[in-house]
């Protein structure tokens, strides 16, 4: 049972609320994360018996704090046989509280690496006035994280995207990209040398919010992209919020649909051989049944 022995917990969980509501929340997040790790085969089984090493990306937001805590929970309980290295990429954003994460990680006894790369100046220089920063900022951040993972001998870059991020990305692609696609829980990078994992794929954003706040983790807001109005993702989030408020549970139903795709009932000939479809047991000598006239 979680926290049955209060001395037998990782520092990340010291001071955790002892309410029934929080314990249920914590168990739910742990269960969903373990489910995703197992369902999508995130843990490598190495022939030499060595443990894979994951670079856990920590931005200082509620999602990445929840990710870090739940991975350590699973590791602490012997359910995640991997080595974890937390990493924060300080992108040179003015006013970023650079001491918060190093002090937090030291206090929590979490192995970590803090990397400074001024991608902020590049984004501000390259992105025209009035355009969103997210795409370029994300590419620069991801490139640096891949480099760090290689330098640290990690086989995977682990991100804190949750269920709602995945749903929003799906609808952004649907509405604006003209394709059915989203962020998968597991993929291989373009170079083919690193995995990208999203262990919180089944976890709701609201649960991450409640968890991080309840644990009083020092949340750092993103004032770069988060400060821009009218982003496509914000618009999609508002649509999903409206659907959820009108029909509670709608988000989870839509998420389940992403796990229940039927290529034969879509229209992509690259996914399903429509031209190869043929009728079975046809006897051309048999008289065709008369079709009633439509009225």
What DSSP string runs through 58-113? Answer: --SSHHHHHHHHHHHHHHHTT---SEEEEEEEE---TT--TTHHHHHHHHTT--EE
Is there a contact between 175 and 181 (Cβ–Cβ < 8 Å)? no
pLDDT confidence bin for 285, thresholds 50/70/90: low
What is the per-residue pLDDT for 221? 80
Reported as a single tens digit per residue, the pLDDT across 236-275 is 999 999 999 999 999 999 999 999 999 999 999 999 999 9
Helices (H), 131-249: 134-151, 163-172, 205-214, 232-246
Half-sphere exposure for 112 (CA within 13 Å, toward CB): 20
Residue 281 has pLDDT above 80, yes or no: no
Residue 295 has pLDDT above 90, yes or no: no
Rounded to 10 degrees, the C-alpha dihedral 89/92/93/97 comes to 70
Task: State the burial class of residue 262 (Cβ atoms within 10 Å of its Cβ: 0-12, 13-18, 19+).
Answer: exposed
pLDDT confidence bin for 91, thresholds 50/70/90: confident
Task: State the burial class of residue 250 (Cβ atoms within 10 Å of its Cβ: 0-12, 13-18, 19+).
Answer: middle
Residue 24 has pLDDT above 70, yes or no: yes
Residue 131 has pLDDT above 90, yes or no: no
Reported as a single tens digit per residue, the pLDDT across 178-204 is 999 999 999 999 999 999 999 999 999
What is the per-residue pLDDT for 46? 84
C-alpha 272/C-alpha 253 separation (Å) is 25
Residue 284 has pLDDT above 70, yes or no: no
What is the per-residue pLDDT for 5? 46
What is the per-residue pLDDT for 229? 46
What is the per-residue pLDDT for 286? 52
Q: What is the mean pLDDT of the chain?
A: 88
C-alpha 233/C-alpha 166 separation (Å) is 11
Q: What is the percent of the chain with per-residue pLDDT over 90, rounded to a whole number?
A: 68
What is the per-residue pLDDT for 200? 98
Residue 76 has pLDDT above 70, yes or no: yes
């Amino acid at each position: 049972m979680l926290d049955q022995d209060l001395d037998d917990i990782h520092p990340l969980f010291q001071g955790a609320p002892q309410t029934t509501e929080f314990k249920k929340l914590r168990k739910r997040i742990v269960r969903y994360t373990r489910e995703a790790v197992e369902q999508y085969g995130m843990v490598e089984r190495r022939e030499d018996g060595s443990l894979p090493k994951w670079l856990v990306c920590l931005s200082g937001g509620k999602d990445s704090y929840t990710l870090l805590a739940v991975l350590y929970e699973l590791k602490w309980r012997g359910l995640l046989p991997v080595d974890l290295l937390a990493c924060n990429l300080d992108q040179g954003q003015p006013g970023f509280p650079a001491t918060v994460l190093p002090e937090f990680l030291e206090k929590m006894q979490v192995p970590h690496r803090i990397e400074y790369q001024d991608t902020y100046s590049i984004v501000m220089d390259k992105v025209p006035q009035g355009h969103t920063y997210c795409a370029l900022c994300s590419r620069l951040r991801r490139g640096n994280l891949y480099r760090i993972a290689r330098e640290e001998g990690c086989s995977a870059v682990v991100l804190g995207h949750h269920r709602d991020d995945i749903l929003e990305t799906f609808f952004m692609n649907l509405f604006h990209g003209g394709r059915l696609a989203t962020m998968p829980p597991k993929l291989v990078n373009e170079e083919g040398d690193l995995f990208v994992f999203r262990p919180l794929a089944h976890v709701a954003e609201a649960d991450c919010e409640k968890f991080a706040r309840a644990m009083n983790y020092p949340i750092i807001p993103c004032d770069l992209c988060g400060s821009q109005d009218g982003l496509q993702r914000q618009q999609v989030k508002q649509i999903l919020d409206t659907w959820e408020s009108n029909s509670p549970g709608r988000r989870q139903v839509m998420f389940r649909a992403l796990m229940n795709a039927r290529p034969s009932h879509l229209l992509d000939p690259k996914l399903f051989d429509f031209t190869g479809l043929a009728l079975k047991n046809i006897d051309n000598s048999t008289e065709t049944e008369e079709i009633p006239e439509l009225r």
